Amino acid sequence: MGSIRNIGVMTSGGDSPGMNAAVRAVVRTGIYHGLGVYGIRRGYQGMIEGDIFKMATTDVSNIIQRGGTILKTARSKDFMTEEGMDKAFEQLKKHNIDGLILIGGDGTFRGAAQFFERHSIPAIGLPGTIDKDLSGTDFTIGFDTAVNTAVEAIDKIRDTAEAHDRLFVVELMGRDAGYIALNSGIACGAEDILIPETKTDINDVLDRIDADERRKKAVHIIVVAEGDDFGGAKEVQECIVKRFPKLDVRSCVLGHIQRGGAPSYADRVLASRLGHAAVEALLKGNTQVMAGIVNGEVVYTPLTKVVKEFAPISADMLEMIRVLSA
């Protein structure tokens, strides 16, 4: 086990379904190996303020099926200062914590990389984000649940769209990455999917609507990620109404409903595998890496690489959208 005797676990940044399952796996794996496991509430901000407590196996009973995170989460501007990092390190020393498991996304890992440069405490990251925008893993904890939530909602929207011959523009989360919109749109048979990774030509979108109207297609669903370069659902709706004033056009913003709810089976298993793997890696001397799943196997990618590389959108999937929505 080397010098690791006590580990801290925290969730940081945006919450995602499956974070609790990851916390459970970390706590129980750590205790199995005879480690002291400490929960850090509210991410880096809680670390600075010393909101830290020792955890037992009973603390993680009956949480694997719960959304959100029992450790709470927050974004901390204070931690991005040298003074904030020094205060956080002092709190870790006060609790004799000599290893960290960090569950979060890009911002969490950037903070960890900077913290390590200043204080060199061993740390393993777990990809907890609904956006699936991290390299080094095929899936992130929470993505599968978020997509299933979006798919269920869009399916219901399609029912009412068909009943009224309406065109719906549905806005999904994805400020910088369009994975939720892309996968949800494909799964729901959306006629158009607008994402940040590709430049949106609104005239192309309008021309496709015109073609659908000419062949009397009853339902038209457009899925747009909130970070699309043209704008969100309202902007797209306004543009459509201007071109087609007789069309019944509605918009719907799903918002934070995509973050909540019980995690899917896939997210529970993923979180459990990665939580267990993170503790095992820490005990073997690994540090400053993110545990991920690639081709079904656990892999470890340096945090510095994870935060520099963006998981690319498949060109084949983009082409498939055009073919299947015709």
Catalytic residues: 131
Please list, in sequence order, all residues whose beta carbon lies within 8 angstroms of the beta carbon of residue 113, skipping any fewer than 6 positions away: 288, 303, 304, 307
Closest CA to 112 of 306, 309, 310, 280: 306
CA dist 263 and 127 (Å) reads 15
What are the C-alpha distances in Å from 55 to residues 28, 52, 60, 125, 217? 10, 9, 8, 19, 57
Two tokens, residue 158: 């399609």
Count of beta carbons in the 10 Å neighbourhood of residue 218: 11
Two tokens, residue 121: 């405490």
State the number of CA atoms in the 13 A half-sphere of 116 facing the CB: 20
What are the C-alpha distances in Å from 233 to residues 2, 186, 230, 252? 53, 18, 10, 7
CA dist 33 and 260 (Å) reads 32
Q: Given its phi and psi angles, is residue 296 left (phi above 0), alpha (psi -120 to 50 degrees) or beta?
A: left
